[in-house]
Structure 1
């Protein structure tokens, strides 16, 4: 056998051996394929662990932030609710019913049904009659303006001394009295159309519909066209000034 033929056989045998090794490796699942799978699995596992770790960290932070926000929101909501509740209570506390009761009038106009009226002739000043109205009721009442008086059959009521008008309405508590004076006639005799009156009707103000009828002295009182009245006063002294 020649040297060339021997070399050719050796080359073919080496090629066949290499081919057999390759086929054997593919059939038993080892070799390059196994190494590639192991490497891929390790890489995938590492990637999964890394993602899981990142996810946990991110999720933890997100959850913490969510809890914080949720807690903050709940706290603010509770505070707001409390404030709203407080506002409602305040609104109830300032209910209109109490204000209405406070604003109700504490007195009314004096009437003949809850008062007693007297007419007294005084020595000073001359020719004056003192009217006294006493509250016999259980509530306060007001004497407003000045009395409208009618002596005998007179058709008109005398005017008032405007300067006698008080600063405020005269209010009578139960048992208290208010006063007004009547100038019956001029002291110097200069008055005209004089006459003697034996009856008197007293309306507490010009708008009153009912009159008190106090008694006059038995001899009556002399009246002329000088007659005037004072506004209602809280004291006798103030009334007899006019």
Structure 2
């Protein structure tokens, strides 16, 4: 009985040593993996006109809508914060209002080559006044909602688009369908 107990104690002690050694090795490996991942992880920057490409297109549905697309052309991921500031035409007095209900649950992060989308409602029968605009001025925003960099001027489809006081823009969405819901 004493031999069996001594054998069991040695086996238990050996198992504990092996488990401790494996746990220590796992902690070291995990630490190395985490530091290696941290060292290799690219920092995320703010999307600006300098590190993105902007395009605006007409959509068939819903009517009176355009789709604004921003594509990351940089080498690092970028955050597409809030919504873009849009100026419809050269003589626009104020940017189009943002549709607050379209705020996504988190900031849209664009890996290099990936895109985000904002839906633009150009007019509504409830709106007042209006005129045809040939260009769309676009300013991207930082995390505080302030404009970043230079305004990018895009030509609107079909030589111009009618905008009235009901024109609005959504927050950036990670897919076109969500941007066009509003």
TM-score range relative to shorter protein: 0.7 to 0.9
> Tell me, what secondary structure is at the counterpart of 2:152?
coil
More helix by share: 1
The reply to whether residue 210 of structure 1 matches residue 155 of structure 2 is: no
For residues 42 and 107 of structure 2, the distance between their equivalents in structure 1, rounded to whole angstroms, comes to 14
Does structure 2 retain, via aligned residues, the 8 Å contact 1:117–1:213?
no
TM-score by length of 2: 0.72
Does structure 1 retain, via aligned residues, the 8 Å contact 2:80–2:172?
yes
> Tell me, what secondary structure is at the counterpart of 1:131?
strand
Q: CA deviation at 1:105?
A: 7.4
Q: CA deviation at 1:211?
A: 1.8
- After superposition, what is the alpha-carbon deviation per residue over 1:138-168, rounded to whole angstroms, capped at 9, x for unaligned? 1100100011000111010121111110011
Higher relative contact order (CA 8 A, sep 6+): 2
Aligned match of 1:139: 76
Q: CA deviation at 1:111?
A: 1.3
The reply to whether residue 192 of structure 1 matches residue 132 of structure 2 is: no
For residues 95 and 51 of structure 2, the distance between their equivalents in structure 1, rounded to whole angstroms, comes to 24
The reply to whether residue 110 of structure 1 matches residue 110 of structure 2 is: no
Q: CA RMSD in A?
A: 1.9
* Unpaired runs of at least 5, structure 2: 1-30
Q: What pairs up with 1:151-190 in 2 under 5 angstroms?
A: 151-152=88-89, 153-186=91-124, 189-190=125-126
> Tell me, what secondary structure is at the counterpart of 1:181?
strand
Does structure 1 retain, via aligned residues, the 8 Å contact 2:48–2:149?
no
TM-score by length of 1: 0.55
Number of residues of Structure 1 aligned to a counterpart in Structure 2: 142
For residues 149 and 198 of structure 1, the distance between their equivalents in structure 2, rounded to whole angstroms, comes to 13
For residues 160 and 126 of structure 1, the distance between their equivalents in structure 2, rounded to whole angstroms, comes to 19
